[in-house]
Homo-oligomer: A and B are copies of this chain.
């Protein structure tokens, strides 16, 4: 009885797995560009830096539905970018889980970049210079000194991005639609239930599920961060 009450329905499992898949890919595809942009903003000075900085914050500033709509306009099959993607690579993003991942990734991008940038800026340039004098070129310095020392920010950024992608709703439903098994993630399923009078109990279940998943991923990241910190701990904590 209790077991049945707790056991997840197929639809629930589907939504969970889909959510994880979509949030995971979202974070996956933005990780490298996110770190690269963060590094650019933290360590380089160039023309249009303020513009780039502003642009990448747009998803944060606009209501998600608007972002979803803009995505539909640009990446939809009739959009300028979408057309090119479709004709060039046969890739169609709207109404697919890949599209949902794109929507989640776009919404999560500024959070990732901000956190990573903050950590990169806190890395002591003296250590990078020291690595240089030991013969390490830019890339080696980046991968052996800068990024390892920015691990706290990488972790924070990743977990924020993951959480954001996991909870993404507005842009997803607008851009990727609410298709069961394809783009109906936990928040969309939750929305669908909330829209329905009398389905509060089911909605609450999903709500708890979301919370549990988020808590688990948070705790994992905390644990990793703690380990990373402990390694570097100096004597004055």
Chain B residue contacts of A110, Cβ below 8 A = 160
Interface residues of A, dominant DSSP? helix
Q: Say whether A218 contacts B53, CB under 8 Å.
A: yes
Partner among B58, B62, B118, B190 whose Cβ is within 8 Å of the Cβ of A63: B190
Q: Classify chain A's interface size.
A: 35 or more
Residues from chain B with Cβ under 8 Å of A128 in the complex: 236
Is B50's CB under 8 angstroms from A211's CB? no
Residue in B115, B119, B126, B152 whose beta carbon sits within 8 Å of that of A236 in the complex: B126
- A156-B42 Cα distance, complex, nearest whole Å: 13
Cβ of A187 < 8 Å from any Cβ of B?
Answer: yes
In the complex, A82 has a CB within 8 A of chain B: no
**Cβ of A141: which chain B residues have Cβ within 8 Å of it?**
none
- For A61, A125, A190, which residue has the most chain B Cβ atoms within 10 angstroms? A61
- Contacts A111-B160, A169-B170, A214-B54 given; indicate if A62 touches B118 (C-beta within 8 A): no
Known pairs A62-B187, A118-B156. 10 more at Cβ < 8 A? Answer: A50-B219, A54-B215, A62-B210, A65-B169, A65-B194, A115-B118, A118-B152, A121-B152, A122-B152, A169-B170
* Between-chain CB contacts (< 8 Å), 11 pairs: A57-B163, A57-B218, A58-B214, A61-B167, A62-B210, A66-B190, A66-B194, A110-B160, A119-B122, A121-B152, A169-B170
